[in-house]
Amino acid sequence: MTTTLAGTGRAASGPSRAVPAGGVRARPEAVLAAVAAGTLAVLVLWWVNTPAVAGPDGWLTEAGRVTGLLAGYAIAVLLALMARVPALERGVGSDRLARWHSMGGRYVVGLAVAHALLITWGYAVTENTDVVSETVTLNLTYPDMLKATVALLLLVGVGAVSARAVRPRMCYETWFHLHFYTYLAAWLAFGHQLATGDEFIGSAPTRAAWYALYLSVAALLLWYRFLTPVRQAFRHRLRVARIVPEAPGVVSVHITGRNLDRLRAEPGQFFRWRFLTRDLWWSPNPYSLSAPPTGDELRITVKDLGDQSRRIARLRPGTRVVAEGPYGAFTASRRTRRKVLLIAGGVGITPVRALFESIPAAPGDLTLLYRARTADDLVFRAELEEIATRRGAVMHSCLGPRSGIGDAFAPATLRELVPDLPGHEVYVCGPAGMTAGVVSALRAAGVPKRHIHHEAFEF
């Protein structure tokens, strides 16, 4: 294990508590409370419209009704979470939103499948027929039923490609575009809900509320995922200025534009980037800022992990760029303590490097732990050492394969490297496995969960 200690000079720092950038930030607890309130309202809606339940067919049918209502509500929530609303992105964080979206997707698929099976089974018992015959009858005679069946198949398909056993085998671009079928599924299922749902057939206010829910989500998606990137592209006129090699297979892309301060981007955040070349324009990929943004330049750093990232290294100066964002809550505004510990692994150094330069801290209050396999893999080494010296910060570099050095971030090791570890605000960024291990080690070493902020590289 190689350890490098750098920096004893004066810091170029501001106050000990960061001041959040402008904009409303939704608190995670408030978002979860709103989702729970909506769920309760859906259950009350079903209860009010269900005066009595009798017999096996009644129980099966009513179970199908309530799971259908919950599935219809849950898919709207699912889409809203990933609408890239700034208040959610800055307050909750893209990482957490993605985890909620993943968990919610499993609920949506489960509820939709349960709804289809229970309703069909209940109707089959009522009609004294078998499930297969009843399935054919429902699809051929009930309004919008075929659309609902297609929606169910689409949801199951998207859920299948998102399964943990399948997702790592897919490239990001394929996975990303397949998820657009969720929009189609929601649209196909919406008409079915209003045409056959007992809660909607006889109640104009309930139909109006359901329309309001879906139209609001559709408006958020249209504005933030489609129109806002186009508006920003015309406003800021982003172009590639130069490509700078940083380490083997790693390059920094310097991007210039107009009035970039109006983006209100913060160190630690990321954008989804479209480079307008013949083979890259169709795929927006997320890359973090690797330096504090300025009024006329943004910098990202990309590691060669496949065809798309490899093509970025060959971009020509002048290439037009469309950026969606900024996104993420991995920022100094989350910080509530004087001392700060930054932990990075591999290319996870990119947002951490931006924070290392910019987060307010007095001399001795800022520490960076950087994990890499070899010295050549230390991206920004010279920059980081210069920042550490200038700011009076401490930088430890941990080098070598895990088989040779063991657990570089074990609780005992962290306590040895970082005095008063439980009193630090901690930011962690790196591969998902490393991030999970570091967070567990920090908790074991006495750092409260609310003072650990992390971002993992996975989709």
What pLDDT sits at residue 13? 37
Of the chain, the percentage scoring pLDDT greater than 90 comes to: 54
Distance CA 381, CA 258 (A): 30
| Predicted pLDDT at 457 | 57
Q: Residues 243, 252: contact at Cβ < 8 Å?
A: yes
Which region among 95-109, 157-171, 210-224, 251-265 has the lowest average model confidence (pLDDT)? Answer: 157-171
pTM summary value: 0.80
Pick the CATH number of 335-457 from 3.40.50.80, 3.50.50.60, 2.40.50.1070, 3.30.160.20: 3.40.50.80
Report the mean per-residue pLDDT for the chain.
Answer: 87
Give the model's pLDDT for residue 403. 60
- The H-or-E segment that residue 428 falls in is strand 424-431
Could you give the C-alpha distances from 232 to 143, 176, 268, in angstroms and in order? 42, 22, 20
What interhelical angle do 131-141 and 94-127 show, nearest 10?
110
**394-399 and 452-457 strand pairing:** unpaired
| Range name among 127-141, 167-181, 349-363 with the lowest pLDDT average | 167-181
**Calpha distance 369→394 (Å, rounded):** 9
Is residue 268 within 8 A of residue 354, CB to CB? The reply is: yes
Q: What is the pLDDT of residues 56-106, one digit of tens each?
A: 888 999 999 999 999 999 999 999 998 999 889 888 888 888 889 889 999
Per the listing, tokens 């969720």 go with: 182
* Structure tokens given for 410: 């074990």
pLDDT digits (tens, 9 = 90+) for 205-250: 999 999 999 999 999 999 999 999 999 999 999 999 999 999 888 9
DSSP three-state, residue 142: coil
| Dist. CA 115–CA 70, nearest whole Å | 9
- CATH tag, 237-327: 2.40.30.10
CA distances from 11 to 336, 360, 368, 418, 424 (A): 19, 9, 15, 19, 18
Contact 404, 398 (CB under 8 A): no
CB 368 within 8 A of CB 389: no
The pLDDT confidence band at residue 30, using thresholds 50, 70 and 90, is very high
Are 75 and 213 contacting, i.e. CB atoms less than 8 angstroms apart? no
Nearest residue to 381 (alpha-carbon basis) of 373, 390, 370, 392: 370
- Taking each helix axis from N to C end, the angle separating 145-161 and 131-141, rounded to the nearest 10 degrees, works out to 110
User: How do the domains of the chain map onto residue ranges?
Assistant: 28-226, 237-327, 335-457
Q: Residue 16: pLDDT band by 50, 70, 90 thresholds?
A: very low
